[in-house]
Structure 1
Amino acid sequence: MEEVDATRGGQRRRSLIFRRFGPPEQVLNLEEEDLPPLAPDSLRVRMIAAPINPSDLIPITGAYAYRVRPPRAAGYEGVGQVVETGRERRAWLGRRVLPLRGDGTWQTVLDCAASRAVPVPDSLPFDQAARAYINPLTASALLKNTHVSGLRVMLTAAGSEMTMLLAHQARAAGTAALTGIYRSHGRKACLETWGMHPIHLDDVDEIARAAVSTDLVFDAVGGRLADLILTHLPARARFVSYGLLSGHPIKRQDLPVRPARFHLRDHIATLSDQDWLRGFAPIWPMLRDSPLGPVTTFPMQRWREALDYAATPGRATKPLLTFNDDG
């Protein structure tokens, strides 16, 4: 095997692992173990940073027990540097990559399949690269498969990074109007800056009025909010569900507008490795033109503090775990 900078912490790694389902702050533990031998077609990656997203935390609770089984390391996205390869993969040494679709990313070191490792442009800051997967790829796929030009579009969970990306790309595609449903009062001015008409989650009458003239909904919340919107949408409208942040399903399946479901996991499962890598081609200019918001970094050993911050209502930054100097 070829190495660069060894693994900067010896042949061991530390991982945030859950061995049973439950609240993340109760079931996650920081564990250390020896690194296994590197498989011939894999890359060994020393992690630099990984965000804390709802999509990282929800599976730990057991919500997706039908497809997620402990014990396993947490985390679904992040950026790292290749530190060890097989002899035929030496060109990867020292490169920054997104080591995705394999081991959890909340680890100091992980191995990933070389065929699926996503090279990161040198010009992209690490805090942007660490978040280049879940939200940007979802936004790109949604808008690639859904016509938005000339339509009046409603976005739920407004104020999130995902909504910001959707709003920016939808405006570029020529939407007629954007409405954003938000929860935290501190988000209103931000939504107006993004060119959206903001409506608070509790203003059910205003949401109903806006839904009547909406052509397309991108919903990440589900539950009662989705049911309310569906009840008032015109029959010509479309409703795309790509998340259930409320933790509750959409119950109104008896209306003229039927929710269409989009899940990133299902989307990428249909892709060849080549198409998977090609899917990131529009992501880099997307992040250049509409960079993701600021972050607050937490060294790995302060993971409990990071989780507390992630749960803070109305926080202005994304929590980001860092691994460089965790020794």
Structure 2
Amino acid sequence: MKNTAIWYRHFGVPEQTLKLETAPMGLLTPDLMRVRMLLSPVNASDLIPVTGAYGHRVKPPLVAGYEGVGQVISAPESWSHLVGKRVLPLCGQGTWQSFVDCPSEFAIPVPDWIDSDLAARAYINPVAAMMMLRLYAPEGKHVLLTAAGSDCGLLLGQWALRLGALSVTGIHRSAAHASRLAACGITSVSLEDVVAISRFASGSDLVFDATGGELATSILQQLPESSTFISYGLLSGNPFKQQHPRPVVRWFHIRNYLNSWNSQQWHSLFSEIWSLLNTSMYSDSVRYPLYSWKEAICFYRESGRTGKPLLVMN
């Protein structure tokens, strides 16, 4: 049996550094489950490590990709009931490959009523959104989002409203996102409308920021001192400046929470996520064959994109 995978053996620009390689599969150790991957998305969290931005904790050579859905083809006896079933192979190797070996207890079964395109994207953004809303409750608050057209932004906005937020306002960089945000009950504001951004920021209690840079700096200057500003990404590639001790600024890094979780906590979390995802608006998926990974990344980088590229593994 041979495995095809997208590797990076040194840091660099993803389109130039990633390589598609095929090699014989190694033996499956007794404590692991082997999963034939079906679909895996392209996320910022997949591409940023390739650049070396997390070089202090990520060391090549590595297979790229952090999430996806696959079908179990081999498992230890106590997990044999999952053979033939779809799972999310958590805590395994990179997911941009034909097969992933993962600890059996961290394989999350996918309900029959969840389609594979949705299941492939059920980890990174949904888990981050849910954890942030647990840490920073939106009930009774006016919420402001940056990068609101992203998958994580969409889920944050919808779920904040379900949890009792008084309002949710989403800043977006493309008009293509405006109607989708409105359909979710989120007030949309263009990134170019600095007057509106200032107005909404001055009335916000809770900010979830994924961009950093000048936008984050500007919002911080307008926020009431009683507000809380959560930074969970730097899509702009630039840090922000906090010029005063208030409002409170918090940094959210999903990896700081997940490493300490046991398998029971993971399964409990997904029992909530599945039902929420199935009733939430999410980006449409756009499929690319594994050998077209460069085209998938190119599509991911398009401004105003409303679909999520998925790599078809087999």
Q: TM-score, normalised by structure 1?
A: 0.93
Q: Does 1:125 align with 2:115?
A: yes
Report matched runs for 1:175-190 at 5 Å.
Answer: 175-190=165-180
CA drift of 1:316 comes to: 2.3
Greater shift in the superposed pair: 138-147 or 34-43? 138-147
Find the counterpart in structure 2 of residue 148 from structure 1.
138
Q: Does 1:210 align with 2:200?
A: yes
Q: Does 1:73 align with 2:73?
A: no
The unaligned stretches of length 5 or more in structure 1 are 1-10
Find the counterpart in structure 2 of residue 91 from structure 1.
81
Q: Does 1:302 align with 2:313?
A: no
8 Å CA contact retained: 2:93, 2:101: yes
For 2:283, the aligned partner's letter is G
Change in 2 beyond 3 A, CA 1:261/1:21: same
CA drift of 1:158 comes to: 1.0
Which whole-Å CA distance do the structure 2 matches of 1:89 and 1:236 have between them? 50
Greater shift in the superposed pair: 46-55 or 32-41? 32-41
Find the counterpart in structure 2 of residue 12 from structure 1.
2
The unaligned stretches of length 5 or more in structure 2 are none
Find the counterpart in structure 1 of residue 226 from structure 2.
236
Change in 2 beyond 3 A, CA 1:234/1:291: closer
Find the counterpart in structure 2 of residue 47 from structure 1.
37
Find the counterpart in structure 2 of residue 33 from structure 1.
23
For 1:293, the aligned partner's letter is S
8 Å CA contact retained: 1:140, 1:282: no
CA drift of 1:203 comes to: 2.3
Q: Does 1:313 align with 2:288?
A: no
Which whole-Å CA distance do the structure 2 matches of 1:40 and 1:70 have between them? 26
Change in 2 beyond 3 A, CA 1:116/1:253: farther
Find the counterpart in structure 2 of residue 7 from structure 1.
none
Which whole-Å CA distance do the structure 2 matches of 1:203 and 1:66 have between them? 38
RMSD between superposed Cα atoms in Å: 1.3
Fraction of identical pairs, as percent = 45
Q: Does 1:245 align with 2:235?
A: yes
CA drift of 1:17 comes to: 0.4
Which whole-Å CA distance do the structure 2 matches of 1:269 and 1:14 have between them? 28
For 1:32, the aligned partner's letter is T
Change in 2 beyond 3 A, CA 1:84/1:34: same
CA drift of 1:101 comes to: 2.3
Which whole-Å CA distance do the structure 2 matches of 1:267 and 1:244 have between them? 19
Q: Does 1:278 align with 2:288?
A: no
SS in 1 for 2:121: coil
Which whole-Å CA distance do the structure 2 matches of 1:109 and 1:216 have between them? 41
Find the counterpart in structure 1 of residue 52 from structure 2.
62
Number of residue equivalences: 314
